[in-house]
Each structure stands twice: as structure tokens, then as C-alpha cells.
A and B are shown apart, each in its own frame.
Chain A
Amino acid sequence: MEETSPPRSDHPVIALRGATASLGSRPVLRGVDLTVRAGEVVALLGANGSGKSTAVRSVIGQVPLTGGDLTLFGTPLRRFKEWHRVGYVPQRTTAAGGVPATVREIVTSGRLARSRFGLPRRADREAVHHALELVGMADRAKDSATALSGGQHQRVLIARALAVEPELLIMDEPMAGVDLASQEVLASALREQVARGTTVLLVLHELGPLEPLIDRAVVLRDGCVVHDGPPPEAVGQHALPGHDHVHPHADDTAPATLGTGLLS
């Protein structure tokens, strides 16, 4: 046991410095600095292809960095082993696989970061039930995942990440394709996590119903940080309640969209 950092040390939870990464021959991150401190809720914003998904995937080691360095809870990623402190919600449209699985079976797999190769104990079952209650899916625990709606799939994926009782929650576009009712449920689940002191890093296409929870927004553009501070104010018509942000982003996005479409 070498330097296991206590939960509330002065280490930042995520410290990404000068990160560069490329997909194929195209540079996607061109020197990104991102620091997330304990208890913060940070949103990564940006147009399609701005590198926000890649930045998050590099934080959890899914995309190798070609330069710069990264520490999680004060430990360099290469030596980081305490994955039970991290809950991850990948960008997915479905929670189902090639074989039927119940909602509980899928959420239970999120608990493996704690139980590993041991037998599941009572605490594991309780954590799974609690996670399902948090997202309002406890009554669907025995249902097959294939019978769920889009928003419910997303709720299951989030429950799977919460089952491990993480100190850091990383979510990649959790609101994509989710109806308003599910968005409200997810926002309240997230509010509860934040109240318990969970650190959150989430990728968003727009702030939406999560806006009041967000401490800081980091805006990426072409793999560079162009804003790091309080969430940008929506202006004009964009600020109206119920405004749906659907127009395509101009010029620089076209080639980039092609690039991330393959990997995100």
C-alpha cells in the first residue's frame, strides 16, 4: 500500500495537464488542461468533434494520451488501481447486449469494481437496489433491458455507474436522446449525488436541466480549452425556457464530425 490518498486530500480528483491525443492521424486534443477538485461539478461543453468525448475517454484510459500527463486522485493513471472510486457512464443508446439481461443483472455488473472476483454480498445487493431507486427504476429491476425506452436505458446506465458508490462520477452525454421526464429524474439523482459530496465530470452538448448543479464549465473547441469558468450565460432566444438547441454548429465542425462519428 503506497501513498493511498485519503478521500478529501488537497490532490485534485482529476488533473490533466497539456494533454494531446489523436485518433488515427488527426490530432483531437491539442494541449488540454483540466483540473477537477473534490466536490466540484464540471461540465465539458463544445460542438461535435471539439474533443470533449475524447478528453473524457482519455481520463479513464480508453484513449491513450500522446503527450501531457494525467493523475486521478493524485495517482498517475498508469499506476491507478482504485477503480471502485470511479463511476462511468459511457455514451450509449442502449444498455442491452446480444443476450437478454434484466435491469438488475446489468446494474449489478457495475458493482464488480468492488466485489471483483469475490461472491456478491448483502452490501452489494443493497447498493444495487439503492442505485435503482435513485434513478426510479427499482420497479423494473426484473424486466429485460430490451423492453425499455431510450430514457430508461440511460437511467439503467447511470444506475450501473452509481452501484459502485463512486467518489467521482464521469458521464458522457447522459442526456442524449432522453425525454424531459427522464431528464428530470436524472437531474434529481445527480443532485442527490452532488449533495453527498460526489465529484462529477460530465460531457454535455448543452447545459439543459442540469445547469443549476454545475459549478464550472470547460468549453473545448478544436481540441483546445477556450473557456474555463462559470457556465456561459445563454443569450437572446437561447435563454428562453424550453428553447431546444438544434441548429448545427458552423464552419469548423464539418470535417471533425466525420472523425468522431467513428469512435464516439
Chain B
Amino acid sequence: MEILTYAFMQRALIAALIVGITAPAIGIYLVQRRQSLMGDGIGHVALTGVGLGFLINSSSAWAGPVWIATFVAIAGSVAMELIRWYGKTRGDLALAMLFYGGMAGGVMLMNLSDAGSNANLSTYLFGSITTVSAQDMTAICVLAALVLAITVGLRRQLFAVCQDEEFARVTGLPVRLLNLLIAVTAAVTVTVAMRVVGLLLVSALMVIPVAAAQQISRSFAVTFALAVAIGIGVTVTGTATSYYVDVPSGATIVLFAIAVFVLFTLLAAPLARKRARAAAGGADGCTLEVPGSRAPADDVRV
């Protein structure tokens, strides 16, 4: 395994593993409340943060692009959550505005800065896992621990809020706070995954493993575990593949994830048939034996 002897590949594989765990872990809640594309929106907003990071061009660890992107993404996701509360009527338009504004802002700021170039931009857009530095690793590990603590530790509460928000409010849970927590956690996950799959493909890793897992699972717990397992599987194999075959890591990971989705979809039909047979359990001939109909007694008289 010569792949493991290079420090940059060790970092790449660990980063991939972390993203494989965290992205589906928060993604499942977004899918549950039917906001699969929220990750995409946050990704666009985070680009402005990356641009800002380059413009400031500070060398201190706490003002690097990853951290600034995190703060801007959090601000953007909180803004989206506020729009969801207060602007019910034209919420989708306001969100679209935020998406495109974030993208345009990122490109603009990046070009204004000295360090920014198109090549630099594309490493954030599409990911560049082998350039993850030791400094990035610290940030990624700290943020991932936070994401995991929230998504696993508060799974019952987050499940209730994402399943039926109105009902959750009547149970007395702090629904607004939990919604904000989901938004912030999603934003943090986007910036964690940014270097691995890129901002444009982050959302794929939040949604596709969940979509694949729910093809064959019946419970939330199994869907969660399976989605994380798929996430780990595709990110690690995708990263290893990109080392051996020299293809971009982000695109490889996403294509692997889609392959898993297709495979699980194909498996779903026979599995459902098998479960149906097991449930029927020898209840053959459930149609009632109907006695022969009576013979007509007489003609119709008017």
C-alpha cells in the first residue's frame, strides 16, 4: 500500500473519511424535511467567503479561506432559515437571489484579490483533495467533531423537528433553535467538504447516500447508518481511485455515489418482493370462496 506512505495522501484519505461521515449525517435531516437542495445553496454562499478569504489574504490560521468561508456560510444559512420563517410567500425567489449573489460575489472577490486566479477558484469549486494542508486538517477535524456531536447527539430531537415541525412545536421543543442548529451544522459541513468534493458537488454527498440508503431501508436509524456507510465507502474509494488513475477526486466520488444509488434501486424491487412474501407467510388463497350466485327468480315486472 504505497498510497499510505505519502503524507498528502494520508491527509487526503482522512479528510475524505471525515466528509463521508459528516455530509450524509446532516444531509439526512435536510432530505427528511424535503430541502435537499439547501446544501447547494449554502455552497454557493460559501464561495463568497472563499473570495473574501483570498481578498484579505491573511496568513494567520484563523483568517484563512476555510474559516472565512465557514463564517460566511453560517451567515448565509441563517439568512435562509430566517427567510423560511418570515417570507413564506416568495421564499423561493429570495433563496435564488442568495444563491446567485453568493456565486457572483465569490467570483468577483476572487478576481479582485492578488492571490486569486481561475485555477485557485476551481480548486474550491470542484475540490482538490491532495492539496489539503496540515493546517486545513486541524480545521476540518474540529468542525467535523462538532457536526457529528450535533447530528448523533440530538438525533431524536432533530428527527421530530424534520418529521413534523408543527407537531414538534406542540411538544415544547425549541423548534426555532433546532432549525437554526441544522442550518449552521449544514453550513459547517459544506465548508468541511469543500476541499474534498468542491462547493458545487458538496450537496451531492449530502443527498445521494441518503437517497441510496432509503431505497432499501424502512427505518430512520437504518437509513442513517447505511447513508454514513455509503458516504465513507464512496469517499475513500473515490479518493484512492483518483490517486491511481489521475482523475479529479470530487467528480469520482460523486459518480461512485450515483453508481451505488443505481445499484440499490435495482436491488430494491427484488428485496421488496421478498419482504412481501415473508409478510404474506403462506396466506395463499386469501380471496374468499364465493358461493354461486342465485338463479334469477322471475322476469322483471314493471
Does A associate with B in a complex? yes
Residues of A whose CB lies within 8 Å of any CB of B are 60-62, 81-84, 86, 88, 90, 92, 95, 97-102, 105-106, 108-110, 112-113, 115-117, 120, 142-144, 147, 160, 164
Beta-carbon nearest neighbor of B34 in chain A = A98
Given A97-B32, A98-B34: A88 touches B159 (CB 8 Å cut-off): no
Give residues of chain B (42-92) contacting chain A, Cβ–Cβ below 8 Å.
none
Residue of B154, B166, B167, B171 ringed by the most chain A CB atoms within 10 A: B171
Give residues of chain B (145-173) contacting chain A, Cβ–Cβ below 8 Å.
154, 156-157, 159-160, 162-164, 166-173
* The residue from A61, A62, A83, A106 contacting B163, defined by CB atoms under 8 A apart: A106
Residues of B whose CB lies within 8 Å of any CB of A are 28, 31-34, 36, 154, 156-157, 159-160, 162-164, 166-173, 210, 214, 217-221, 223
Closest 9 CB pairs of A and B: A83-B172, A144-B218, A109-B160, A113-B171, A88-B170, A99-B32, A102-B219, A101-B220, A97-B163
Q: Report whether A90 and B32 are in contact in the complex, using a CB–CB cutoff of 8 Å.
A: no
Q: Give the residues in chain B near A164, CB-CB below 8 Å.
A: 171
Given A105-B219, A108-B156, A109-B156: A98 touches B31 (CB 8 Å cut-off): yes
Q: Give the residues in chain B near A99, CB-CB below 8 Å.
A: 28, 31-32, 210, 214, 220, 223
Q: Give the residues in chain B near A102, CB-CB below 8 Å.
A: 218-220
24 CB-based A-B contacts, threshold 8 Å: A60-B169, A60-B170, A61-B170, A83-B170, A86-B170, A88-B170, A95-B164, A97-B32, A97-B33, A98-B34, A98-B36, A99-B31, A99-B210, A99-B214, A100-B214, A105-B221, A110-B171, A113-B173, A116-B172, A117-B154, A117-B157, A120-B156, A142-B219, A147-B218
The CA of A105 and the CA of B159, in the complex, are separated in Å by 9
Q: How many Å from the CB of A137 to the closest CB on chain B?
A: 15
Q: Give the residues in chain A near B220, CB-CB below 8 Å.
A: 99-102, 105
Q: How many Å from the CB of B265 to the closest CB on chain A?
A: 14
Q: Give the residues in chain B near A108, CB-CB below 8 Å.
A: 156
Given A100-B217, A117-B157: A88 touches B31 (CB 8 Å cut-off): no
Q: Give the residues in chain A near B31, CB-CB below 8 Å.
A: 98-99
Given A98-B34, A108-B156: A143 touches B171 (CB 8 Å cut-off): no
The CA of A60 and the CA of B169, in the complex, are separated in Å by 9
* The residue from B28, B160, B214 contacting A112, defined by CB atoms under 8 A apart: B160
The CA of A116 and the CA of B178, in the complex, are separated in Å by 13
The CA of A61 and the CA of B171, in the complex, are separated in Å by 12
Q: Give the residues in chain B near A88, CB-CB below 8 Å.
A: 167, 170
Beta-carbon nearest neighbor of B161 in chain A = A109
The CA of A55 and the CA of B170, in the complex, are separated in Å by 15
Given A62-B166, A99-B210, A100-B223: A112 touches B218 (CB 8 Å cut-off): no
Q: Report whether B162 and A97 are in contact in the complex, using a CB–CB cutoff of 8 Å.
A: yes
The CA of A99 and the CA of B31, in the complex, are separated in Å by 7
Beta-carbon nearest neighbor of A102 in chain B = B219
Beta-carbon nearest neighbor of A82 in chain B = B172
Q: Give the residues in chain B near A81, CB-CB below 8 Å.
A: 172
Q: Report whether A98 and B171 are in contact in the complex, using a CB–CB cutoff of 8 Å.
A: no
The CA of A84 and the CA of B28, in the complex, are separated in Å by 28
Beta-carbon nearest neighbor of A99 in chain B = B32
Q: Report whether A62 and B169 are in contact in the complex, using a CB–CB cutoff of 8 Å.
A: yes
The CA of A100 and the CA of B163, in the complex, are separated in Å by 10
The CA of A100 and the CA of B219, in the complex, are separated in Å by 5
Q: How many Å from the CB of A82 to the closest CB on chain B?
A: 8
Q: Report whether A160 and B34 are in contact in the complex, using a CB–CB cutoff of 8 Å.
A: no
Beta-carbon nearest neighbor of A105 in chain B = B220
Q: How many Å from the CB of A44 to the closest CB on chain B?
A: 17
Q: Report whether B218 and A143 are in contact in the complex, using a CB–CB cutoff of 8 Å.
A: yes
Q: Give the residues in chain A near B28, CB-CB below 8 Å.
A: 99
* The residue from A84, A90, A116 contacting B167, defined by CB atoms under 8 A apart: A90
The CA of A255 and the CA of B219, in the complex, are separated in Å by 42
Given A83-B170, A88-B170: A100 touches B156 (CB 8 Å cut-off): no
The CA of A93 and the CA of B170, in the complex, are separated in Å by 19
Q: Report whether A90 and B164 are in contact in the complex, using a CB–CB cutoff of 8 Å.
A: yes
The CA of A106 and the CA of B219, in the complex, are separated in Å by 10
Q: Give the residues in chain A near B223, CB-CB below 8 Å.
A: 99-100
The CA of A241 and the CA of B170, in the complex, are separated in Å by 37
